[in-house]
Structure 1
Amino acid sequence: MAASEAILMREPDQTRALPSNVEAEAAFLGAVLIDNRILEELTSPLKAEHFHAAVHGRVFERIQALIDRKAVVTPVTLKPYFESDEGLRELGGTAYLARLTADGQGLLNPRELAEQIYDLALLRELITVGRTLVEQAMDTSESVAPLQQIELAEASLYKVAEGAQTGSEAQSFGQATRVSLEMIEKALLSGGHISGKTTGLTSVNEKIGGLHDSDLIILAGRPGMGKTSLVTNIAFNAADRLRRDLADGIALKDSVGAAVAFFSLEMSADQLATRILAEQSGISSEALRMGRISRDEFQQLSFASQRLAELPLYIDDTPALTIGSLRARARRLKRRHDIGLIIVDYLQLLQGSGRSDNRVNEISEISRGLKTLAKELSVPVIALSQLSRAVEQRDDKRPMLSDLRESGSIEQDADMVWFVFREDYYVAAKEPKVPQGNDDPKVQEAHAAWQAEMERVYGLAELIVAKQRHGSTGKVRLRFESRITRFSDLASDDLRAAYGNDE
């Protein structure tokens, strides 16, 4: 007799009265015991209480606890925890755990099995609400308040519905206030301007207060502006700050650094690593790629690579990811490495679920998915985005929100929108004819004027905060060293000169 049939025989009335699929529960648990990674790829918020057979719920709960401790879970490693379990004894004892993995049927569709288990649990909750409603409505005593019963029934239904949508319950205002106070205290301890994760750039932190959990930040710019360079700098700065804080004995919750997941859909992992090595060693990335470095520079490079070896920065360069796959991979990294920041380079290279009938709807689905991911994992998500070519048609090349390419939903879903703008990129493209000795004085004057303009703007960059839910918009001036692709804060003298020349 199958174990699932034994459960059915043991609890015949209850099982027939309520929707359930004990065989699906057994098949799913068997699949998880064969391949623990299945739990990391679930889309439904499955919990122990969703299993109809109580013994299955206990097995699932123990599996989760062991995986959270980074243990490998098999029938053998589970055995010590269930040797005295009465419910399991009725099914044949710990040998039942091995029988769960006997045929491996659940490996064919574990996600569908999990969704069915979860959906049936919701139906059982609905039945419980309905039965309670009927019993209370049948009560005709004088103390009955029909309107109050309706309100209670509505509250119960909303509780079931909210559980289906989010898998979590609403917080009281007191809980939310405590979280807010913790953020304020963190900002105070950090020197008065960071309540989230650090960008590593003091001027940017002062403008935005750091990168806030659950926020979606869109960083956009035309090609050549340095979008990838900026997020690579931020990724390194956040990861390095966490590494240093932990080495100094600062608790993880008190650090403004973060372990970083970098999803690079355009560049390979080794190209990103080369950029970071160039930035940290001070050797140009072009020289690194060509191998044109001296022995001293190679030693610099070696020291830099040793510093970076333990950096909590995880690069996933899988091309053509769907938004669903990216979210599954991010959840896995959160579970394994407790990542505190996600970077996506870039949004338009992600694919939707395939259900959208046009590209605008697909981009809307992707931007909503990224915002949902930020809230689900409670981490900031920075997604790079392209800009339309409309920028190039204007005299002032500074981007605007209307330049975000393909969908207004990107602006709508984002908590912050940043634009990177480098005036020297456009000024360099306008270089007039280089004067020769016998050229017209006007040619020489034109080139001299261009050279003066180039000297004024060379190495200056603007981070334009075009949207910010938490504060004001505006510009932050930065220094950009194109040779080593590094953004940094402007020195005081440079800052005065840059803002003195502002329009």
Structure 2
Amino acid sequence: MNYFNLEAEQAALGALLIAPDLIYESILIPEYFYHEDHKRIITAMLHLRDNEQMIDTVSLGAALGSNLHDIGGYSYLTKLSQSVPTSGLFRSHERIIKEKYLLRTGMQKIREIYSGGYDEPKKFAGELINIAEIIMGQSKIEGGLRHIKEGLKDHYDSIEGRAFNGKPTGYSTLGVDLDRVIGKWQKQTLNIIAARPSVGKTAALLNNAVINGKEALAVAIFSLEQPELQLYDRMISAQCNIDGSRIKSGKLSDDEWTKYTIGFTGLADLKIYIDDRPGLSVQEIRSEVRRFKKTHGEIIVFIDYLQLVNGGREFANRNLEVGYVSSSLKQMARENDCPVIALAQLSRGVEQRQDKRPMLSDLRESGNIEQDADTITFLYRDDYYNQETEKKNIIEMIVAKNREGEVGTVEMINLKNYGKFVNYERAHSITDH
């Protein structure tokens, strides 16, 4: 069995030379290639892409520098460009290259396990299962973004079994006060929402996604932490005002079933798409979003969460990888003329202070996040830390960075049993219902 395909590698590189725009949709990274010369060439191509330079034989030769001679000079680049008549089979060649890479890495990991000398069958089997799951997840070709209507059908089965009117332009945030401070989500911006675990980041994302869906936007959600059915639990709870524990149990009253049916129908009509594949690389997300943009036009992208996005290659340290991911997401926002909202985890340093309101220095493995982000909003709940607080069910949204506007703190009501965020003026009628 061959663990590489040099012809596919040559064809893919040749297609990128004759159709350079494919680099923005490609998921190829140097590690996927077997031939060292091809690794050097794709590295140079990605460098040109990241610096927004056109890819052709001349610019590629310059980017290769001293490596140009090692790969065979311009004559080899010309040979690559002439190796395929069209770029029509690029996706097929790209898939072959990745599959061969997965075979190589899988076999290497199996050899490492074998040489490790495990004397416990369960531990040995567990390592093999872990490798199999990783390879299966990374080799998944089908799937990707899926319309919420399709997913909600599964959710139904699951639960049955168990502006221009004086407001800021842009796309709505979670609430009117946050709209006023941030100026809404603007196109070509990277926006970070950060908090400690269990404060409400994912709930904020889902609330905001539904708001944007109701604005007729096409919404892409990349959920690297939770499977889509769990997201539907939370979305249904928030939209239908049904206690989350009731949704999880499936034991709904007649009144709750009525609410569920109405909410289900309303959500299914929204243009919300969810990709819940774990371990996605930033290259895979960029490729998916580019195709999504071509299909839908006006889009907004949510990512849960930034530190779970794979950098797609080796880095000297974790901070560099997170920094690369954040800068790539910023470029993705610009490429697709859309807002990108990414959740981020905060470090434990917050817990060590008397005042536990987050600060910019608390961004975990911050890398270039602070530099790349156009807005950074921290979520803080005083009742999370202090049960005697007078601010029960109130969440503070601390806008700590805003490249184009003001900073400051706004407050919303946090209905935790629904996973719902509401403005003050709406809170009275909902909580009294």
- TM-score w.r.t. the length of structure 2 is 0.63
Counterpart secondary structure, 1:321: coil
Determine if the alignment matches structure 1 residue 107 to structure 2 residue 92. yes
Which residue of 2 is the match for residue 476 of structure 1?
410
Which residue of 2 is the match for residue 195 of structure 1?
169
Determine if the alignment matches structure 1 residue 298 to structure 2 residue 298. no
Determine if the alignment matches structure 1 residue 237 to structure 2 residue 230. no
Structure 1 residues 303 and 42: alpha-carbon distance in aligned structure 2, compared to 1, 3 A threshold: same
Q: Which amino acid aligns with 1:214?
A: Q
Structure 1 residues 105 and 341: alpha-carbon distance in aligned structure 2, compared to 1, 3 A threshold: closer
- Identity among equivalent positions (%) equals 37
- Out of 150, 166, 178, the residue aligned to residue 204 of structure 1 is 178
Deviations 1:116-169 (A, max 9, x none): xxxxxxxxxxxxxxxxxxxxxxxxxxxxxxxxxxxxxxxxxxxxxxxxxxxxxx
- 1:464/1:474 contact within 8 Å kept: yes
User: Paired residues, what number?
Assistant: 301
Which residue of 1 is the match for residue 124 of structure 2?
none
Q: 2:323, 2:342 → 1: CA distance?
A: 14
Determine if the alignment matches structure 1 residue 319 to structure 2 residue 273. no
Shift of the alpha carbon at 1:368? Answer: 0.7
Shift of the alpha carbon at 1:192? Answer: 2.4
Determine if the alignment matches structure 1 residue 461 to structure 2 residue 388. no
Q: 1:492, 1:268 → 2: CA distance?
A: 30
Q: 2:424, 2:352 → 1: CA distance?
A: 30
Alpha-carbon RMSD across the aligned residues, in angstroms, is 3.3
Shift of the alpha carbon at 1:407? Answer: 2.3
Which residue of 1 is the match for residue 295 of structure 2?
336
Which residue of 2 is the match for residue 136 of structure 1?
none
- Out of 208, 211, 227, the residue aligned to residue 201 of structure 2 is 227
Determine if the alignment matches structure 1 residue 413 to structure 2 residue 413. no
Shift of the alpha carbon at 1:354? Answer: 1.7
Q: Which amino acid aligns with 2:391?
A: V
Determine if the alignment matches structure 1 residue 487 to structure 2 residue 413. no
Instruction: State the structure with bigger RCO (CA 8 A, min sep 6), 1 or 2.
Output: 2
Which residue of 2 is the match for residue 215 of structure 1?
189
Determine if the alignment matches structure 1 residue 348 to structure 2 residue 307. yes
Which residue of 1 is the match for residue 221 of structure 2?
262
Deviations 1:194-245 (A, max 9, x none): 2211125111111111101111111110112101111111110011121xxx
Q: 2:257, 2:349 → 1: CA distance?
A: 44
- TM-score w.r.t. the length of structure 1 is 0.55
- 2:224/2:308 contact within 8 Å kept: yes
Structure 1 residues 408 and 304: alpha-carbon distance in aligned structure 2, compared to 1, 3 A threshold: same
4+ aligned runs moved over 3 Å, structure 1: 23-29, 37-45, 49-52, 103-107, 109-112
Q: Which amino acid aligns with 1:356?
A: F
- 1:350/1:366 contact within 8 Å kept: yes
Which residue of 2 is the match for residue 88 of structure 1?
none
Unaligned runs of 5+ in 2: 1-9, 29-44, 58-83, 98-162, 429-433
Q: 1:237, 1:287 → 2: CA distance?
A: 23
Determine if the alignment matches structure 1 residue 279 to structure 2 residue 213. no
**Larger Cα-atom Rg:** 1
Deviations 1:320-340 (A, max 9, x none): 011111111111111122352
Determine if the alignment matches structure 1 residue 370 to structure 2 residue 329. yes
- 1:38/1:110 contact within 8 Å kept: no
Deviations 1:258-278 (A, max 9, x none): 211100000111111111111
- 1:261/1:339 contact within 8 Å kept: no
Q: Which amino acid aligns with 2:171?
A: K
Moved more, 193-202 or 383-392: 193-202
Q: 2:220, 2:302 → 1: CA distance?
A: 6
Structure 1 residues 402 and 305: alpha-carbon distance in aligned structure 2, compared to 1, 3 A threshold: same
Shift of the alpha carbon at 1:24? Answer: 6.1
Structure 1 residues 372 and 300: alpha-carbon distance in aligned structure 2, compared to 1, 3 A threshold: same
Structure 1 residues 274 and 339: alpha-carbon distance in aligned structure 2, compared to 1, 3 A threshold: farther
Which residue of 1 is the match for residue 26 of structure 2?
41
Which residue of 2 is the match for residue 402 of structure 1?
361
Q: 1:356, 1:28 → 2: CA distance?
A: 28
- 1:27/1:106 contact within 8 Å kept: no
Shift of the alpha carbon at 1:486? Answer: 0.5
Deviations 1:246-298 (A, max 9, x none): xxxxxxxxxxxx21110000011111111111111110121111112112211
